[in-house]
Amino acid sequence: MKTINITHNKIAKKLLLYFGGTLLFFSFIIGVLFTLLFRSHTLTIHQQEMKKQGNAIAASMAEYMEDSHKGMMGQRRYLQTLDDVMTGDVWLIDKNHDLITADTHNSGHMGGMMNDSTPLNYQDLPENASQVIENALQGEASFNEEFNTILKTPALTFATPICSANGKILGVVLLHSPITNIASGTTAGLKILGLSMLIGLGLSTIVTYWLAHHFTHPLNKMNETTKQLADGKYDVKTQIAQNDEIGELAQSIDQLSMTLYDASLETEKLAQLRASFIANISHELKTPITVIRGFLESLQDGVVTNPKDVASYHQQMLAEVLFLQRLVGDLLDLSKLQHYEFAIKKEAIDIASLIQDLSRSLKPLLTTKQLQLLVSFEEEQPLVEGDYGRLRQLLMILLDNAVRYSPISGMIKIKLYQGALEIQDQGPGIPIADQPYIFDRFYKARDESNKKGTGLGLAIAKEIAKRHDMDLTVSATTEGTTFRLIY
């Protein structure tokens, strides 16, 4: 398989850029969504853990605050124990707004999250932080980040009331937990995601490269095919079979190739016909012109002086001129009929009446050769749409041929039936090998009976039939020839 060069293949390069850009865009979107959703999910889990721990600490502290024997020292020892096992700090606010930590009573320094040992009183808390505590003393548990300025580190605080067995609020537990772990977890997750995306992007680039090759390969084949068509090689095919738009385009190019191939064959055929036509017309014109020139030179040089011979020369020259006139007339008729710009004036025609008209016109020719004309047709004949003059010319050509080839005292039969007309003579017939060519221009039988023919009559008849959407055929045996006109 031919490899694809991305640097020179514009479509492949565009596909690679489009796919790569799309993957980068989705990677960015996924990264942003992952960061937001992962942080939110982690924060939610962390809040649930803090809430569970805070409620458990509040329940335990309620026993210390209700039991006067345990006192403040017991509370502080409990807080110190919690400080040893927890990553965050636990503060206790009693109903008198005294602040108790693991290291101090009333006004000591903060726990492990504090960056210094500056004593801190309840009055030193920010207004928003104090409001959180007041809400907790009213029985409202909440999460907040109002203590960050005091803790001097990003932290999440859970404030929950300490309630006695009978529901009396004894104080507030403040559970501080650093959220740097959440940020570091999110960062680690992003690193894993980024590495995964980088690997996926690399693999996707390889797949995209293959897809670009797979997509552009048929396009390259069609490009090569069209170039060969432009060079005149009309027998080439794309050899592409796909059930998509590219496959349809390939089929169209193959169809174009077939059409151009047929057109080239037709062009060659027309060229041969043109050459044959020129040769034939040259031959047909050369003979009478040579005869006329010979006669004129003889008369001019005084070679022929006998009045009878001079008259004979004049008669022969007139016959040759009449032949030329007929030849030119037939050529003009054939040229007109072959150009569809030439209008055919159609009207409703009664074929039976047309045959009767031709019978009267042929009577002198029939009498000369003592021929009989037998006409038979069904009583009811449908009217035919056509040009009366041209259809009369067609039938006259066929009947003239029948008279020319019929023997003396012979019979010509015209049979008219539903949708067809037959003209049969008793002549020598047409050889089977010659029958496919009798409608070609300048075809003439090689015998004396057609010596004066132009070879254009049957070609004109065929063109008239085609212009009327009719079919003219011939069948011949040694006993005669039958022309059949189907309409």
pLDDT tens digits, one per residue of 32-89: 888 888 888 888 888 888 899 888 888 888 877 776 555 566 666 777 777 766 777 8
pLDDT band of residue 454 (cuts 50, 70, 90) is low
> Over 80: is that where the pLDDT of 167 sits?
yes
Q: Which amino acid is at 231?
A: D
pLDDT, residue 10, reads: 72
Measure the CA–CA gap between 224 and 230, rounded to whole angstroms.
10
> Over 60: is that where the pLDDT of 148 sits?
yes
pLDDT, residue 106, reads: 39
> Over 60: is that where the pLDDT of 403 sits?
yes
- Residues 218-263: pLDDT tens digits? 888 888 888 888 888 888 888 888 888 888 888 888 888 888 888 8
pLDDT band of residue 411 (cuts 50, 70, 90) is very high
Please name the residue ranges forming H helices in 95-140. Answer: 127-137
Average pLDDT over residues 121-126: 76
pLDDT band of residue 484 (cuts 50, 70, 90) is very high
pLDDT, residue 72, reads: 60
Please name the residue ranges forming H helices in 67-126. Answer: 71-85
Measure the CA–CA gap between 135 and 123, rounded to whole angstroms.
16
pLDDT, residue 267, reads: 85
pLDDT, residue 246, reads: 81
Average pLDDT over residues 144-161: 84
Measure the CA–CA gap between 150 and 133, rounded to whole angstroms.
14
Distances (CA, A) of 137 to 110, 351, 486: 21, 120, 113
469 Cβ contact list (under 8 Å, min separation 6): 487
Question: SS3 of 107, please?
Answer: coil
Bridging pattern class, strands 480-486 and 420-424: antiparallel
Which residue segments constitute the domains of the chain, with CATH numbers given? 11-184 (3.30.450.20), 245-336 (1.10.287.130), 343-486 (3.30.565.10)
Rg from Cα positions in the chain? 56
Share of the chain above pLDDT 90, in %: 6
Q: At what angle do helices 71-85 and 10-66 cross, to 10 degrees?
A: 160
Q: Which two tokens stand for residue 147?
A: 């203590």
Q: Which two tokens stand for residue 365?
A: 């020719």
- Residues 180-208: pLDDT tens digits? 777 777 788 788 888 888 888 888 878 87
pLDDT, residue 7, reads: 52
What is the CB neighbour count within 10 angstroms for residue 280? 18
Share of the chain above pLDDT 70, in %: 87
- Residues 96-121: pLDDT tens digits? 887 877 664 433 334 455 545 556 67
Which range is most confident: 101-110, 327-336, 357-366?
A: 357-366
Average pLDDT over residues 427-444: 79
Measure the CA–CA gap between 197 and 208, rounded to whole angstroms.
15
Which run of H or of E encompasses 457? helix 457-467
Measure the CA–CA gap between 445 and 475, rounded to whole angstroms.
16
